[in-house]
Structure 1
Amino acid sequence: MAAYFDDETFKGIDFTKKVIVKGEYDNCTFLNCNFSGIYASNIGFIECEFINCNFSNADISNTAFKTVTFIECKMLGLKFNKCDPFLLALNFKDCQLNVSSFYQLNVPNISFVNCNLQEVDFTEANISKGVFDNCDLRNAVFNRTKLEKANFSSAYNFNINPTNNFIKKALFSKENVIGLLESFDVRLE
């Protein structure tokens, strides 16, 4: 029988040295924990919060993230497209997610606040009504991505081609609209 943890706080644990117990974590907080490079598959996180944790290059295949918030986390190279898509709901604040993948994920209403999203793959993902508040999207890939009603008003360094993405009613600012024109090789003065 899988382990069950409810309303617990895990503080300063280095899971590269101590194996994470497979099971379900409900309403738990992980503070200053290291998940870097570990095999964290087939674990369920429901309404959990991760603060100042390192998830870089962790294997999150079939891991469930149901209404999970990441704050000040380092999450380089994560393949969110391999995690359990059922009831997947993610929010990120002050996180580094460079070279991560959301390929074909259905994550409407996802929120990124003050995040570094360089070289992140959003190909064919549904990010409608998503928020990219003050996020660096340099070399992020948007291809056949659903971005309807998404908020990019304070995002920067993005290149989104309006002809091969779905951007109806997405919000952009006058300052960053150039990110919609770069693929057309248009210059503004």
Structure 2
Amino acid sequence: MDTLTDGESYFDACFSKLVSADLRLKNSEFEECRFEDCDFSGAEFKNCKFTNCEFERCNVSLVSLPNTKVFGITFTECKLVGVDWTKVTWPMFHVDFELTFKRCIMTDNSFYGLTLHELVLDECKLHDVDFREGKFPDSTMTYCDFTNSLFMRTNLQQVDFSESTNYTIDVLENQVTGAKFTRFEALSLLECLGIELVD
């Protein structure tokens, strides 16, 4: 398929090398769809719905998702710079939306105040990402680079940060009970306590 239409329902469709930068789409639904090597940079999906879809090697930077619903979405080797996930419609009765990001560039994303249990972030570049006030218990955030990302009053209970680097997490400001950190990187957690480490 090479075109997307307002108000359309797509099921089990495959979109390959679709270039729709700055697209404006509304009231469309995608279920069990696959997007490969597509360019949706700067696009807006308004009042849309994505269920059990896969994005591979796609550019979805600066995409806007006002009042759109997502569930069971996997992004693999995608570029997602500047995405504001707070504009998505997240039903209050649900906490696990089965979102997975693998080997993605996610600089300048915002998850501010969201409740996303069991979020999966694997081998992602997460520079300047806003996780403040969010709830992400039981999530997997492994092999990621969190340079300059913000954590404040964030629920990170039981989160697996194994092999992740460059995070600044104040253990007095965030809930980290049961979280898993790589031993050497975990030393950064003591900085907020004013502790001096000596050899």
Any conservation in 1 of the 2:7–2:28 contact (CA below 8 Å)?
yes
Deviations 1:158-189 (A, max 9, x none): 01001010111111121111231232343434
RMSD: 1.6
Q: Secondary structure at the match of 1:81?
A: helix
Residue of structure 2 in register with 1:14 after alignment: 19
Any conservation in 1 of the 2:22–2:44 contact (CA below 8 Å)?
no
Offset at residue 60 of structure 1 (A): 1.3
Deviations 1:37-69 (A, max 9, x none): 111221110000000111111111212110100
Instruction: Output the TM-score relative to the length of structure 1.
Output: 0.94
Any conservation in 1 of the 2:26–2:45 contact (CA below 8 Å)?
no
Offset at residue 19 of structure 1 (A): 5.2
Q: Distance in 1 between the 2:185 and 2:22 partners?
A: 44
Q: Secondary structure at the match of 2:180?
A: coil
Q: Secondary structure at the match of 2:45?
A: coil
Offset at residue 15 of structure 1 (A): 1.1
Aligned length: 189
**Equivalences for residues 31-180 of structure 1 within 5 A:** 31-86=36-91, 87=94, 88-180=97-189
Offset at residue 17 of structure 1 (A): 6.6
Q: Which runs of 5+ in 1 are unaligned?
A: none
Q: Distance in 1 between the 2:134 and 2:19 partners?
A: 32
Q: Secondary structure at the match of 2:164?
A: coil
Q: Which runs of 5+ in 2 are unaligned?
A: 1-5
The one-letter code matched in structure 2 to 1:96 is I
Residue 64 to residue 21, structure 1, CA distance change in 2 (3 Å):
same
Q: Distance in 2 between the 1:37 and 1:18 partners?
A: 7
Q: Secondary structure at the match of 1:181?
A: helix
